[in-house]
């Protein structure tokens, strides 16, 4: 099984485990940073770890993040995983949460999948190959997925307003100021609210033109989406200097960034 098929299946199986929890009553705990944690996070982590431990590469996951920098600094290639991105969306039951798996090579996301289990949307990005979106049925991953999926970007952009995608839960004042400047430049603009890493995927898909993020995120929040965006021919850059996001930093907190076409 090649790596792309492996992580696609891992994300889908993790998504099915998440839905088992989502569709029933569940309790919510809180981490030291007050971010929510559910049984679904841990179940998804366990499934993904099972698939990825059969590859040569180590794993850095949000739910298993206690890997000392001194150890991971020497990893030339590793998996970066968020088993359940958008736990707040999960708790709200709005369906806008994802499973994120990325392969990082020398600090660059070169392969990524994002799966939204409620919507059954699967996004795949392979560096040098391209990006795709699949709308699955019954969580089944087709063998001929490149033919079955839409090559990204897939949405026509001529007949719509300049479109900004943003967070449902993290609209900072700085983000609002950034959007105001976009309105000055583009006139009447459209705004799409979306949770989790789906925001990056909407830019890759061509549904949105830009996603500004002037609020905290971690490396595992962005890596898979970053791989998909770049494989679609677009960019995820730091707000301050237009440089690419860096991965496997000592501090895993991302700087502010912009995803743009």
Is 82 part of any known ligand binding site? yes
Find the mean pLDDT for residues 82-96.
90
Q: Which of 235, 178, 175 is nearest to 204 (CA)?
A: 235
The CA-atom distances, in angstroms, between 151 and each of 23, 26, 123 are 32, 37, 10
pLDDT top residue among 66 and 208: 208
Q: How far apart are CA 2 and CA 208, in angstroms?
A: 31
CATH match of 163-260 with 3.40.50.720: no
Task: Please write down the HEC assignment for all residues of 16-76.
Answer: HHHHHHHCCCCCCEECCCCCEECHHHHHHHHHHHHHHCCCCCCEEEHHHCCCCHHHHCCCC
Query: Does residue 34 carry a pLDDT above 60?
Result: no
Q: Is 159 annotated for ligand binding?
A: no
Pairing of strands 150-152, 108-116: unpaired
62 annotated ligand binder: yes
**Please, which pLDDT band fits residue 24 given cuts at 50, 70 and 90?**
confident
As a whole number, mean pLDDT of residues 4-16 equals 98
Q: 147 Cβ partners below 8 Å, 6+ apart?
A: none
Q: What is the pLDDT of residue 157?
A: 64
For residues 13-23, average pLDDT:
94
Q: Which residue's entry shows tokens 């907190």? A: 253
The reply to whether 4 sits in an annotated binding site is no
Let me know the angle formed at the C-alpha of 101 by 250 and 217, rounded to the nearest 5 degrees.
Answer: 45
Torsion angle, alpha carbons of 145, 146, 149, 155, to 10: 160
Is 85 labelled a binding residue? yes
pLDDT at 32: 61
How confident is the model at residue 158, as a pLDDT?
Answer: 64
pLDDT value at position 88? 84
Q: Does the annotation list 188 as a binding residue?
A: no
CATH fold of the domain at 3-152: Fructose-1,6-Bisphosphatase; Chain A, domain 1 (3.30.540)
The domain limits of the chain are 3-152, 163-260
- pLDDT score, position 131: 98
């Amino acid at each position: 099984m090649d790596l792309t098929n492996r992580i696609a299946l891992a994300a889908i199986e993790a998504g099915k485990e998440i839905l088992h929890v989502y569709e029933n009553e569940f309790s919510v705990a809180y981490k030291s940073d007050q971010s929510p944690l559910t049984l679904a996070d841990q179940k998804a982590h366990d499934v993904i770890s099972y698939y990825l431990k059969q590859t040569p590469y180590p794993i850095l996951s949000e739910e298993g993040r206690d890997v000392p920098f001194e150890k991971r600094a020497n990893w030339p290639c590793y998996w970066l995983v968020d088993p359940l991105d958008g736990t707040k969306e999960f708790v709200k039951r709005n369906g806008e949460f994802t499973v994120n798996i990325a392969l990082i090579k020398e600090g660059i996301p070169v392969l990524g999948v994002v799966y939204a289990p409620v919507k059954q949307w699967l996004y795949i990005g392979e560096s040098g190959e391209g990006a795709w979106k699949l709308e699955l049925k019954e969580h089944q991953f087709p063998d001929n997925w490149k033919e079955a999926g839409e090559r990204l970007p897939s949405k026509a952009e001529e007949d719509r307003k300049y479109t900004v995608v943003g967070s449902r839960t993290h609209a900072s004042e700085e983000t609002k100021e950034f959007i105001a400047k976009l309105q000055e430049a583009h006139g009447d603009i459209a705004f799409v609210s979306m949770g989790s890493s789906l925001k990056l995927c909407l830019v890759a898909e061509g549904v949105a033109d830009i996603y500004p993020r002037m609020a905290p995120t971690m490396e595992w929040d962005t890596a898979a989406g970053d791989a998909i965006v770049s494989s679609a021919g677009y960019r995820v850059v730091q707000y301050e200097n237009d440089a690419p996001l860096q991965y496997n930093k000592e501090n895993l907190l991302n700087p502010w960034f912009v995803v743009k076409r």
